[in-house]
């Protein structure tokens, strides 16, 4: 197995990595866009620089890769592009507006380009994990102004942090996401979306049958209950 360094935030890094693969293999069959992180904090306290950084990695990073591989896949008449979004690309939690904005955007982008690329034999697949036992939570970034001791959102921030800690204690192993991706890319007729993790599936099912207000109340109740249990 050969590993090639690729920084999704850098145009040259993306192009150099893809050119190196094409030079050696003369084709690219599968691309998995998985780079991303979570920026946590109230929108009011989030700087434009922090917002732009979140979009740079979570949205523009995949766009750089996709734009670079499309001509290659179009020329060879086949290829699969996998965009790992999130349960957070379908529903939202408080204090994650920047993160959800990027994931909702990647979902919309994926839906649109599937129409553009299908005539060229290029498949688009969206993978939507729930809680995964990776380093995602460890790599979470707090907005610089998010101080629970002085922020008007401090109580909500503490409750949400506790909720996420407990949620990720029951997270699935990253290999489960890898299995879902492998199943999707090896299928002759893959689905467009794959939801990975039972809690994520149940949450999305609840979202289908609930009104906006009912679903919002359910999410807030879950978060507030977690906060009270740990007070």
What structural domains does the chain harbor?
11-147+173-195 (3.40.50.720)
Position 194 scores a pLDDT of 97
Q: Of residues 37, 99, 115, 163, which has the active-site annotation? A: 99
Largest distance between two CA atoms of the chain: 59
Q: In whole angstroms, what is the distance from residue 173 CA to residue 177 CA?
A: 8
Position 228 scores a pLDDT of 43
Q: Are 195 and 86 in contact (CB under 8 A)?
A: no
Position 225 scores a pLDDT of 52
What letter does residue 35 receive in the DSSP assignment? -
CA distances from 154 to 124, 145, 157, 212 (A): 40, 11, 5, 25
Q: In whole angstroms, what is the distance from residue 2 CA to residue 9 CA?
A: 21
Active site residue 163: no
Tokens 């977690």 locate to 226
Position 47 scores a pLDDT of 97
Low-confidence ranges of the chain (pLDDT < 50): 226-231
Q: In whole angstroms, what is the distance from residue 183 CA to residue 75 CA?
A: 25
pTM strictly above 0.75 = yes
Position 230 scores a pLDDT of 37
């Amino acid at each position: 197995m050969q590993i090639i360094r690729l920084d999704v935030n850098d145009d040259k890094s993306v192009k150099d990595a893809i050119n190196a693969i094409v030079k050696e293999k003369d084709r690219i069959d599968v691309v998995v866009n998985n780079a991303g992180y979570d920026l946590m904090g109230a929108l009011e306290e989030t700087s434009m620089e922090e917002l732009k950084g979140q979009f740079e990695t979570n949205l523009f990073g995949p766009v750089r890769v996709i734009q670079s591989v499309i001509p290659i896949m179009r020329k060879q008449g086949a290829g699969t592009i996998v965009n790992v979004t999130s349960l957070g690309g379908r529903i939202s939690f408080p204090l994650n507006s920047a993160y959800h904005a990027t994931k909702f955007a990647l979902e919309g982008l994926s839906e649109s380009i599937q129409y553009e690329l299908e005539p060229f034999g290029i498949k688009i697949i969206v993978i939507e994990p729930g809680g995964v036992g990776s380093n995602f939570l460890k790599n979470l970034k707090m907005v610089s102004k998010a101080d629970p001791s002085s922020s008007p959102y401090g109580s909500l921030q503490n409750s949400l942090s506790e909720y996420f800690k407990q949620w990720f204690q029951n997270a699935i192993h990253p290999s489960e996401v890898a299995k879902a991706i492998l199943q999707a890319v090896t299928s002759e007729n893959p689905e467009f979306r794959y939801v990975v993790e039972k809690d994520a599936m149940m949450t999305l099912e609840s979202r289908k049958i609930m009104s906006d207000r009912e679903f919002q109340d359910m999410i807030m109740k879950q978060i507030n209950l977690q906060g009270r249990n740990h007070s």
